Amino acid sequence: MKMMVNLKRLFPLCLVLILSVFIVSACQLDTEGTSEVALTGLSPNEINNEAFQDLFPLHYASYQKNLEMSDTKFGGSVLASKFEHNREPYAPILFNGYGFAKEYNEDRGHIYAVEDNISIARINDKSIASCFTCKSSAVPSMIDQFGDEFWTKNFRNEIIPLAEEMGHSPIGCSDCHDPETMELQVTRPMFATAMLEKGEDISNPTLNEMRTYVCAQCHVEYYFEPENKAVTFPWSEGYQPEEMFEYYETIAMESGFSKDWIHNVSGAPMLKSQHPEYETWAEGTHGKAEVSCSDCHMPYTREDDRKKITSHYWTSPLKTIEQSCRTCHADQTEDELKDKVESIQDMNKDALDKAGDILLTSHYYVNKMITSGVPEDKIKQAQDLVRMGQWFWDMVSAENSTGFHNPQGSMDSLKTSVEASNEAIILATEELVKFDVNIDELKEEIEKVKKAVYDEPDNFKKNEHATNDYFPPQKN
Ligand code: HEC
Ligand code: HEC
Ligand code: HEC
Ligand code: HEC
Task: Say yes or no: 280 and 384 in one domain.
Answer: no
Task: Say yes or no: 268 and 395 in one domain.
Answer: no
SS (H, E, C) 281-345: HHHCHHHHCCCCHHHHHCCEEECCCCCEEECCCCCCHHHCHHHHCCCCCCCCCHHHHHHHHHHHH
218, 298, 324, best to mutate for ligand 3 pocket (most atoms within 8 Å of CB): 218
Residues with CB under 6 A from ligand 1: 72, 74-76, 107, 212, 215-216, 219, 277-278, 281, 286, 291, 293, 295-297, 315-318, 341, 400-402, 404-405
Look at residues 324, 358, 379 and tell me which one is the last residue of a structural domain: 324
Give the other-Cβ count within 10 Å of 37's Cβ: 18
Task: Say yes or no: 319 and 356 in one domain.
Answer: no
pLDDT number for residue 306: 77
For 364-410, write each residue's pLDDT tens digit: 999 999 999 999 999 999 999 999 999 999 999 999 999 999 999 99
Find the domain containing 405 and state its range: 334-466
37, 110, 173, best to mutate for ligand 2 pocket (most atoms within 8 Å of CB): 173
Task: Say yes or no: 208 and 260 in one domain.
Answer: yes
Distance (Å) from CA 255 to ligand 3 centroid: 30
Task: Say yes or no: 179 and 251 in one domain.
Answer: yes
Look at residues 269, 303, 324 and tell me which one is the last residue of a structural domain: 324
169, 171, 319, best to mutate for ligand 3 pocket (most atoms within 8 Å of CB): 171
Task: Say yes or no: 267 and 389 in one domain.
Answer: no
Task: Say yes or no: 374 and 291 in one domain.
Answer: no
**CB-based contact 410:240 (threshold 8 Å):** no
Q: Is 232 helix (H, G, I), strand (E, B) or coil?
A: strand
Gyration radius of the chain over CA positions: 24
Its sign, for the CA torsion 238, 289, 181, 174, is: negative
Query: Which amino acid, residue 374?
Result: V
Look at residues 324, 349, 376 and tell me which one is the last residue of a structural domain: 324
Question: pLDDT tens track of the chain, all 476 residues?
Answer: 344 444 333 333 333 333 333 333 333 333 334 446 679 999 999 999 999 999 999 999 999 999 998 899 999 888 899 999 999 999 999 999 999 999 999 989 999 988 888 888 888 888 999 889 999 999 999 999 999 999 999 998 999 999 999 999 999 999 999 999 999 999 999 999 999 999 999 989 999 999 999 999 999 999 999 999 999 999 999 999 999 999 999 999 999 999 999 999 999 999 999 999 999 999 999 999 999 999 999 999 987 777 899 999 999 999 999 999 999 999 999 999 999 999 999 999 999 999 999 999 999 999 999 999 999 999 999 999 999 999 999 999 999 999 999 999 999 999 999 999 999 999 999 999 999 999 999 999 999 999 999 999 999 999 999 999 999 999 86
Task: Say yes or no: 369 and 222 in one domain.
Answer: no
Query: Which amino acid, residue 476?
Result: N
For 292-328, write each residue's pLDDT tens digit: 999 999 999 987 777 899 999 999 999 999 999 999 9
Question: The CATH number of the domain where 343 resides is what?
Answer: 1.20.140.10
Distance (Å) from CA 211 to ligand 1 centroid: 14
Task: Say yes or no: 266 and 348 in one domain.
Answer: no
Identify the helix (H) or strand (E) that includes residue 247. Answer: helix 241-247
Task: Say yes or no: 385 and 297 in one domain.
Answer: no
Q: 20 lies in a domain?
A: no
Give yes or no for residue 108 CB within 6 A of ligand 3: yes
**CB-based contact 31:181 (threshold 8 Å):** yes
Question: The CATH number of the domain where 93 resides is what?
Answer: 1.10.1130.10
Task: Say yes or no: 318 and 347 in one domain.
Answer: no
pLDDT number for residue 117: 87
Task: Say yes or no: 383 and 428 in one domain.
Answer: yes
Q: How many domains does the chain have?
A: 2
pLDDT number for residue 191: 96
**CB-based contact 348:410 (threshold 8 Å):** yes
